[in-house]
Amino acid sequence: MMKMKSGVEQAICILIMLATQIDQRPIRSAILSKRLSVSDSYLKKVMRSLVVSGLVDSEAGKDGGFKLRRTPDEITMLHIYEAIEGTHSFVRPTNLAEKVFLRAEKIRDKKQEVLEVFFDAEQQFKARLQQYTLGSLLAEGSERIGAADWEAIVLAAEN
């Protein structure tokens, strides 16, 4: 069975925070990691993947941090999934079939049959992710979820 890294869920949550940040101001990684209760070092690995994939920009300096590089409507769940999981196929055959089917042609046929089913499922999975955007996740009827000052929220929670 396929298992997604927890980084996919974290990336979605991070992108929601960046998308709803008041005045689109950059958010520091420390604020993101505190709000999500994840280690700053792990969060930085997720952020690096989001930056490399072109979904997020990193700004240095005192007022720096992370901000969206694209609009929420331009970011699909497939972009997020592939930023964390990579673009390679999750269908990776082993040679276990050779240990249970004794005839070579049966091995080849059955292995191909199973691979085709999984490959088809993968294509459907990715096509569905492509249809759903971060923007649709932020929609509440005809309106968007309101803006937030994430730094103020995190600092208030600490006091």
Identify residue 67 by its one-letter amino acid code.
Answer: K
Residue 81 pLDDT: 96
**Distance (Å, whole) CA 68 – CA 113:** 42
Least confident of 7-21, 49-63, 95-109: 95-109
**Distance (Å, whole) CA 93 – CA 116:** 11
Residue 91 pLDDT: 78
Domain locations along the chain = 6-158
Residue 105 pLDDT: 74
- How does DSSP classify residue 142? T
Give per-residue pLDDT as tens, 57-115.
999 988 899 999 999 999 999 999 999 999 988 777 777 666 776 677 777 787 888 88
Q: Are 10 and 56 in contact (CB under 8 A)?
A: no
* 146 to 21, 23, 70, 133, 138: CA distances (angstroms): 9, 11, 18, 17, 9
Q: Are 138 and 74 in contact (CB under 8 A)?
A: no
pTM score above 0.75:
yes
Residue 101 pLDDT: 67
Give per-residue pLDDT as tens, 126-143.
999 999 999 999 987 666
Q: Are 8 and 85 in contact (CB under 8 A)?
A: yes
**Distance (Å, whole) CA 13 – CA 118:** 29
Residue 1 pLDDT: 44
**Distance (Å, whole) CA 141 – CA 101:** 54
Asked if residue 53 has pLDDT above 50, the reply is yes
| The domain made up of 6-158 is a member of CATH 1.10.10.10 | yes
- How does DSSP classify residue 15? H
Cα(first)–Cα(last) distance of the chain, in Å? 43
- The pLDDT mean for the chain works out to 89
Could you tell me what percent of the chain has a pLDDT over 90? 66
Residue 52 pLDDT: 97
pLDDT grade, residue 16 (50/70/90)? very high
Max Cα-Cα span within the chain = 69
Residue 28 pLDDT: 95
Mean pLDDT of 38-65: 94
